[in-house]
Structure 1
Amino acid sequence: MTRIHRRLFAPLASLTAVLLLGTALTASADTLDTIRQRKKILVAVDIGAPPYGMLDAQARQSGSDVETARLLAKDLGVALEIVPVTGPNRVPFLLTKKADVVLASFSVTDERRKVIDFSDPYGVIPVVVGGPAKAPLKAFADLSGKTIAVTRGTTSDQELTRGAKEVSGINIVRYEDDATTNTAVSTGQQDYLAAAISVIPAVKKANPSRDLELKFVMKTFPYAIGLRKGDTALKSWLDGWVKANLQNGKINEIYKQYFGISLPADMLK
């Protein structure tokens, strides 16, 4: 997702703390009115997770989430300010109002729903395990005795942790952002990787000599726009915006541009 990859799994203790913070903020003023009065929307995007968010050859912000954020701001009739985030700090940035919304390959999970709300999904992302082409790896059990890299706080981390519970001898190395994780694999520090499916070609592009390939899918997640609980007017507007731009094909065009495939047909109805 990288960004495919576009995104917060946290330990239970951290989730509890964030839940308390989220509850304290739900009574805040409606964010949609704030955005319109400010004439600018603050959108959190992970710029270190291509193809969702990245810097192009001219050091300009680009990626599927960046383009989607631009479309969102245009349709809302306000200026756009991108707020750079990483996987682990997406929820804290949202809850502390450093961002109005999050578009950062933000997979919809039960854990995240405890502390924030989501719009209707505007994309999908499989989280996968990758490894050397010659390695016989078809399931979590085959990771026994191996070291695998993952970005802390992502859905990849969540699913890898769950799968590893039933298997002894898996050494999980957690990095703080996608760029560091991808570098560790592309430079050969680790041979195995848990990530969004879009990371596999990105790592191979960074180092063509690496024979990394998709080994198995851990889980497929829809991803959506994250917003604070209690922002009912904003959620209603975002849901309508997502539906309209899926039906008119604009979101799908962005998805195809960066991932080379179309969104599932049932999302476009």
Structure 2
Amino acid sequence: MALAPVAASAHSLDEVLSAKTLVVGINPNLPPLGVYDDKNEITGFDVDLANKLGEMLGVEVKLVQVGSADRVPFLATGKADIVLGGLTRTPDRAKVIDFTVPVITEAISALTLDSKPFKSMDDLNSADVNLIEVRGTTPVDFVKTRLPNAKVVLFDNYPDAVRALFQGRGDAIVDVVDYLGRYTANYKDATRVLTDATASVDYDCIGVARGNDALKDWLNTALFSLQSSGFVDVTYKKWFGIDMVYPIHPNPYF
């Protein structure tokens, strides 16, 4: 869908408070941000954050399902007051919707076992290193450019790739490591994350309709409080299984 200017037809802060309801767009197909549980209810990091925001506002939270393609249209048509779902702040999107301060980050790093000798991402750029990657993913191309000397072993999915790492069939997995934490929980070996000094960090924010300033300002204030108190970090580790690889440092200026 081509990006077009988004009118602020979602509810304003005053309207949300008056209706005592905050409508939140959640992607249930993006675990652990959003996922259906065994009761067919949406759970995940985004749901915990949305419920906390609703509690702070003193309103009921109503969840609506969104996909990657319809997050912006849901704001445009007023089907959602705010949208989560790994919404990365980009210049093109900022032309048509507004963003809060960042909630979480996404960037490529490396997951290795604590028993391995590697200290930095650059240590993986060796012909003696076997990297475990998932076939068809963006990190495969990243490795070819960033770590051209390493050998690559491809697997069809993330559970198999993580299992191979713990079985010693490779030295590290280069990917957005945050999303691998839930696959490592059943293994006893300790892991270590290698960050990349050259990483291009994506900042995922809450999306609001363009011009819905009062609601955006309140959300920024609330997020600063939740980041400063540790709520975001604790909730992140609860769902992702690890600390945020590229953490956000709360800044009172927003």
TM-score range, shorter chain: 0.5 to 0.7
Distance in 1, matches of 2:223 and 2:76, equals: 22
Are 1:266 and 2:249 matched, yes or no? yes
Distance in 2, matches of 1:78 and 1:151, equals: 43
The equivalent residue for 1:116 is 97
The equivalent residue for 1:11 is none
Amino acid paired to 1:39: K
Residue in structure 2 matching 1:245, options 226, 230, 252: 226
**Residues 103-124 of structure 1, C-alpha deviations (whole Å, 9 max, x = no match):** 2122212222122111111222
Which 5+ residue runs of structure 2 have no aligned equivalent? Answer: 112-120, 123-132, 146-156, 163-172, 188-192
**Residues 129-186 of structure 1, C-alpha deviations (whole Å, 9 max, x = no match):** 99xxxxxxx99xxxxxxxx97999xxxx7x9999999xxxxxxxxxxxxxxx879999
Tell me which moved more, 98-107 or 69-78: 98-107
Shift of 1:260: 2.3
Q: What is the SS of the residue equivalent to 1:198?
A: helix
TM-score by length of 1: 0.61
What is the correspondence of 1:82-97 to structure 2 with a 5 Å cutoff?
Answer: 82-97=63-78
CA RMSD of aligned residues (A): 4.8
Q: What is the SS of the residue equivalent to 2:30?
A: coil
Which 5+ residue runs of structure 1 have no aligned equivalent? Answer: 1-16, 131-137, 140-147, 166-180, 187-192, 209-213
- TM-aligned CA distance change 1:234 to 1:195, over 3 Å: farther
Query: Which has the greater radius of gyration?
Result: 2
Amino acid paired to 1:19: L
Distance in 1, matches of 2:43 and 2:136, equals: 21
Shift of 1:205: 7.9
Distance in 1, matches of 2:184 and 2:223, equals: 32
Shift of 1:46: 1.2
Assess if the C-alpha contact under 8 Å between 2:27 and 2:34 holds in 1: yes
Residue in structure 2 matching 1:51, options 19, 32, 36: 32
Q: What is the SS of the residue equivalent to 2:61?
A: strand
Shift of 1:268: 7.3
Identical-residue share of aligned pairs (%)? 26
Tell me which moved more, 30-39 or 121-130: 121-130
Assess if the C-alpha contact under 8 Å between 2:13 and 2:214 holds in 1: yes
The equivalent residue for 1:256 is 237
Q: What is the SS of the residue equivalent to 2:22?
A: strand
Are 1:78 and 2:62 matched, yes or no? no
- TM-aligned CA distance change 1:113 to 1:27, over 3 Å: closer
What is the correspondence of 1:12-161 to structure 2 with a 5 Å cutoff?
Answer: 18-20=2-4, 23=5, 25-26=6-7, 28=9, 31-127=12-108
TM-score by length of 2: 0.65
- TM-aligned CA distance change 1:151 to 1:252, over 3 Å: farther
Shift of 1:58: 4.0
Distance in 1, matches of 2:250 and 2:234, equals: 13
